[in-house]
Amino acid sequence: SGRHTIVLYQPSAARGSRTFLDYESVTQAMDGICGLFEKKLKDMNPTIRNITYEVADLYRFIDELPDMSALVYDTEVNAYIPYDRQWIKLRAFQHLRKLA
């Protein structure tokens, strides 16, 4: 899972909010996506110390973003392969399952 990964996302309806996150691996990218969600939860609930969530909550966060996709570098074709939010949700689930 040491394949360079770029996460492209748009956090609000404003097209100018489009941005990207750069990771050394798919695993780090999934950590980063979970971190985005956890930061949003903390911002929404500043008085709660330990926030817990279900995978369905993470999925809802990903689905509610105006846009999210990933580009994963493939050494065999020497190019980035695009993946949609369904792939991101599957990989995030697999990542969280390993951590549990």
Domains contained in the chain, number: 1
pLDDT tens digits along 16-72: 999 999 999 999 999 999 999 999 999 999 999 888 899 999 999 999 999 999 999
For 7, 36, 61, 95, the CA distances from 10, given in Å and listed in that order, are 10, 12, 12, 22
- CATH code, domain carrying 23: 3.30.2260.10
Q: How many residues does the chain have?
A: 100
d(CA 67, CA 73): 20
Which whole-number Å values give the CA distances from 47 to 39, 57, 80, in the listed order?
13, 19, 41
Evaluate if pTM is beyond 0.85. yes
> 80 and 6 in contact (C-beta within 8 Å)?
yes
